[in-house]
Amino acid sequence: MKFLDLAKVYIRSGGGGGGCVSFRREKYIEYGGPDGGDGGNGGSVWAEAVEGLNTLIDFRYQQHFFAKSGQPGMGNQRTGKTGEDIVLRVAVGTEILDEDQETVIADLTEVGQRVQLARGGNGGWGNLHFKSATNQAPRRANPGQEGVERTIWLRLKLIADVGLLGLPNAGKSTFLAATSNARPKVADYPFTTLHPNLGVVGVDNAEFVVADIPGLIEGASEGRGLGDLFLGHVERCAVLLHLVDGTSGTLLEDYQTIVNEISNYADVLAEKPRVIVLNKIDSLDEEERVFLKEELETVTNAPVMLMSGASQEGTTDVLRALRAQIDENRLRIKAQEETQDEEDGSWQP
């Protein structure tokens, strides 16, 4: 299945059916009167987050979604049939944006979450509705309300606990392949990863999800290379794993490039907790490891861990550090929710 995280969709809700002008005419019934029924309501367009999807590829082959219109009313006080709704089934983590690609209509982050995108038109009133003491034979009916037509964008942001950051060929896919059952493409040239990959990682009887995105290069926030096209997938992560290639001759510049790009993309990424790892240490001797680690710690003002995704040296310690950050984030979110609940329930009319 191909990966697609952005799709343009055209939707239209159903129009309401028109009301009916009708009079009861039966043999031996002297005063029949109006009996025109109302039109049926048009169908609405909904979006729902469902399990089992991690791409928007279905919307590449179908971009138009039109709900059914309501049927018109009929005589004998019969109301028209309501049009059927139509539901867009999307992956969890999908943002629904207006046509300007900036206004967020909804953010579906939980399975079963549902939002109405276009409401169906109301059915028109039949002439039975207009009957009164002074107008006992009305000959008017309302037309149905027109449906809503709009263009929306669907943008998928994968929901993962850990997001991998690094330059191309920094060893992100190798790390994911070594610690999970995911099988991303791994090769000895840059830009082997062309779309995000997810892997479930386990350590100390705990599991969490890691997202691997294509490597960033200098100027990515301005559109160079693959640009910042996939950075949205790590916005929801609890912690970022920043891999630095230990065999690179420009190690410190490589680190600063990634820091600059995520800062230019969004403050929310720059403020996220990060675990910094010096990768590919299997190609370094003990003296080089100590020297490069100290240099990197001087620039980052933070502890730097050592790891080799290829030989799996140090991977368990890195996974434990990530798990600790994830647990801290969950506790922080829980505390915020409890505080919010207390504030909401502190005042009563």
CATH number at residue 18: 2.70.210.12
Q: Is residue 346 part of a domain?
A: no
Residues 125 and 184 in one domain: no
Q: What is the pLDDT of residue 185?
A: 58
Q: Is residue 69 part of a domain?
A: yes
Q: Is residue 324 part of a domain?
A: yes
Residues 229 and 274 in one domain: yes
Number of neighbouring beta carbons within 10 Å of residue 180: 19
d(CA 130, CA 18): 14
Residues 172 and 321 in one domain: yes
Residues 143 and 217 in one domain: no
Q: With a cut of 90, say whether residue 38 has pLDDT above it.
A: yes
d(CA 83, CA 43): 4
Domain boundary among 92, 125, 156: 156
pLDDT digits (tens, 9 = 90+) for 282-307: 888 888 888 888 888 888 888 889 98
Residues 102 and 186 in one domain: no
Residues 131 and 217 in one domain: no
Which helix (H) or strand (E) covers residue 8, if one does? strand 6-12
Q: Is residue 31 part of a domain?
A: yes
Residues 243 and 291 in one domain: yes
Question: Whole-model pTM?
Answer: 0.74
Residue 145, classified by CB atoms within 10 Å of its CB into exposed (0-12), middle (13-18) or buried (19+), is: buried
> Which pLDDT band, with edges at 50, 70 and 90, does 9 fall under?
very high
Q: Is residue 55 part of a domain?
A: yes
Domain boundary among 123, 156, 189: 156
Q: Structurally, how many domains does the chain consist of?
A: 2
**What is the mean pLDDT of the segment spanning 194-204?**
76
pLDDT digits (tens, 9 = 90+) for 308-339: 888 888 888 888 888 888 888 877 777 776 77
Residues 144 and 185 in one domain: no
Q: CA nearest 154: which of 61, 227, 55, 14? A: 55
Looking at the chain, the whole-number percentage of residues with pLDDT higher than 70 is 88
Residues 6 and 137 in one domain: yes
Q: What is the pLDDT of residue 74?
A: 93
Q: CA nearest 45: which of 157, 149, 123? A: 149
Q: Is residue 343 part of a domain?
A: no
Residues 39 and 139 in one domain: yes
Q: Is residue 349 part of a domain?
A: no
Residues 71 and 112 in one domain: yes
pLDDT digits (tens, 9 = 90+) for 126-176: 999 899 888 888 999 999 999 999 999 998 887 788 888 888 878 888 888
Higher per-residue confidence, 271 vs 44: 44
Which helix (H) or strand (E) covers residue 277, if one does? strand 274-279
Q: With a cut of 90, say whether residue 203 has pLDDT above it.
A: no
CATH number at residue 308: 3.40.50.300
**What is the mean pLDDT of the segment spanning 203-226?**
72
Instruction: State which residues form the domain around 137.
Output: 1-156
Q: Is residue 348 part of a domain?
A: no
Domain boundary among 109, 141, 156: 156
Residues 170 and 142 in one domain: no
